[in-house]
């Protein structure tokens, strides 16, 4: 739970030439988190997971106080996944003084999540920088589930020449398509039954592109329509962007990402899906279905 204690152990591992893999989380762990730990376990000598509900990345009206917590369950899941060290600092351990230094990543952090949650990505970039400085990982694992966050972290690591390899991991879903998320715990049974509309909306967007749509507006409407048809869902945004720059190509081409955010009761759910248009799609079609 202290920075000094963790550093002490990790210095020994580094001194012995061991590689360190790092999985930062906010806890209430589920198989999506476990998939990141599995990847870290396979590629590193020592695996560190952090559990820290970072106040800096929550807006004033967001769910910082109600964010679900279960340290006992988390420890069991992490142990099962082969994690060596679980770092669980308090807020005062991480931020003993007023925070005067923050990290801002312009561009990719600004649309979508950045628009709805204006201070969110500064909080993420700052805590990830700080955790990297504490852990000193060779590799760090992030889920594609939070695709814009992954893009922000990649940009930051490139811009600041941080000595860490960022590894993106595929989204783990329930059988009905709902992406696993700690915030799914907020869903009532009725909302849970309706929530697969989020993934269905993205698939509708992908079908529109595969059916020949090249207008971002048309694809955005195809995604939005599925959420709007679901009485328990309230759309925040639906978008199609270039997967690297987060700019909107018009006409649509290249490596695209479809993204959606919607509220189901108390839960704000986000999800995304990749689609290739152009040479990549053409070669896939050439290979048959
Ligand atoms: P969180 O605890 O929500 O901050 O997430 C910690 C890490 O786990 C982030 O890199 C997330 O993108 C990743 N993650 C969360 N849910 C999933 C999922 N369903 N599949 C894959 N990775 C996930």
Q: Please, what is the angle between helix 31-43 and helix 71-80, to 10°? A: 40
**pLDDT-above-70 percentage for the chain:** 96
Residue linked to tokens 């479809």 = 258
Residue 245, SS3? Answer: coil
Cis preceding linkage at 251, omega within 30:
yes
Q: Is 50 in the pocket of ligand 1 (CB under 6 A)?
A: no
Distance 180 CA to ligand 1 centre (A): 8
Residues 262, 120: Cα–Cα separation, whole Å: 17
Rounded Cα distance between 52 and 73, Å, is 15
* 31 CA distance to ligand 1 middle (Å): 9
What Cα–Cα distance (Å) separates residue 56 from each residue in 73, 98, 117, 127?
A: 25, 11, 12, 8
Cα dist from 51 to 140, 160, 262, whole Å? 14, 24, 25
pTM: 0.96
The answer to whether the CB of 48 is under 6 A from ligand 1 is no
Kind of pairing, strands 139-143 and 165-169? parallel
Q: Are 256 and 276 in contact (CB under 8 A)?
A: yes
Return the pLDDT at 27: 98
Nearest CA to ligand 1 atom 7: 25
Over the stretch 21-79, which tens digit does the pLDDT of each residue have? Answer: 999 999 999 999 999 999 999 999 999 999 999 999 999 999 999 999 999 999 999 99
The mean pLDDT of the chain is: 96
Residue 120 near ligand 1, beta carbon < 6 Å: no
Strand order across the 165-169 sheet: 85-87, 46-51, 20-25, 139-143, 165-169
**179 CA to middle of ligand 1, Å?**
10
Q: How many whole angstroms from 141 Cα to the centroid of ligand 1?
A: 9
The answer, yes or no, to whether residue 243 has pLDDT greater than 80, is: yes
pLDDT tens-digit series, residues 172-192: 999 999 999 999 999 999 999
- Please give the distance, rounded to the nearest whole angstrom, from the Cα atom of residue 145 to the centre of ligand 1: 6
| Tokens matching residue 86 | 């679980």
Count CA within 13 A, CB hemisphere, residue 56.
23
Of all protein residues, the one whose alpha carbon is nearest to atom 6 of ligand 1 is 25
Residues labelled as active-site residues:
33
| Nearest CA residue ID for atom 10, ligand 1 | 142
Whole-number Å distance between alpha carbons of 195 and 227: 9
Residue 210 pLDDT greater than 60, yes or no = yes
> CA-to-CA distance for 281 and 273, rounded, in angstroms?
15
Choosing from 24, 30, 32 the residue with most ligand 1 atoms within 8 A of its CB, the one to mutate for a pocket test is 32
Nearest Cα residue to atom 13 of ligand 1: 143
CA-170 nearest atom, ligand 1: 21
Residue ID of nearest Cα to ligand 1 atom 18: 32
The partner residues of 142 in beta bridges, in order of sequence, read 168
Query: Does ligand 1 have an atom closer than 6 angstroms to the CB of 26?
Result: yes
Alpha-carbon gap, residue 43 to 45, rounded angstroms: 7
């Amino acid at each position: 739970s202290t920075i000094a204690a963790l550093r002490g152990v990790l210095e020994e591992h580094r001194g012995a030439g061991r590689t360190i893999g790092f999985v930062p989380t906010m806890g209430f762990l589920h198989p999506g988190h476990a998939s990141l730990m599995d990847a870290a376990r396979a590629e590193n000598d020592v695996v560190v997971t952090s559990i820290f509900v970072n106040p800096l990345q929550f807006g004033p009206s967001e769910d910082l106080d109600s964010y679900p917590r279960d340290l006992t369950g988390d420890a069991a899941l992490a142990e099962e996944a082969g994690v060596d060290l679980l770092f669980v600092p308090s807020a005062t351990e991480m931020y003993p003084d007023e925070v005067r230094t923050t990290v801002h990543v312009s561009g990719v952090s600004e649309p979508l999540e950045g628009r709805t949650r204006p201070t969110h990505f500064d909080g993420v970039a700052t805590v990830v920088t700080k955790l990297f400085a504490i852990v000193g990982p060779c590799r760090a694992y992030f889920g594609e589930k939070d695709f814009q966050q992954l893009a922000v972290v990649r940009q930051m690591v490139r811009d600041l020449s941080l000595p860490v390899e960022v590894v993106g991991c595929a989204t783990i879903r329930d059988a009905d398509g709902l992406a696993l998320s700690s915030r799914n715990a907020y869903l009532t049974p009725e909302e849970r039954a309706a929530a697969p509309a989020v993934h269905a909306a993205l698939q509708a967007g992908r079908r529109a592109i595969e059916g020949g749509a090249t207008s971002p507006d048309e694809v955005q409407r195809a995604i939005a329509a599925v959420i709007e048809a679901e009485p328990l869902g309230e759309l925040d945004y639906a978008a199609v962007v270039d997967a690297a720059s987060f700019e909107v190509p018009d006409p649509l081409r290249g490596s695209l990402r479809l993204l959606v955010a919607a509220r189901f009761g108390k839960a704000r759910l986000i999800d995304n899906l990749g689609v290739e248009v152009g040479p990549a799609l053409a070669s896939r079609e050439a290979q048959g279905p």
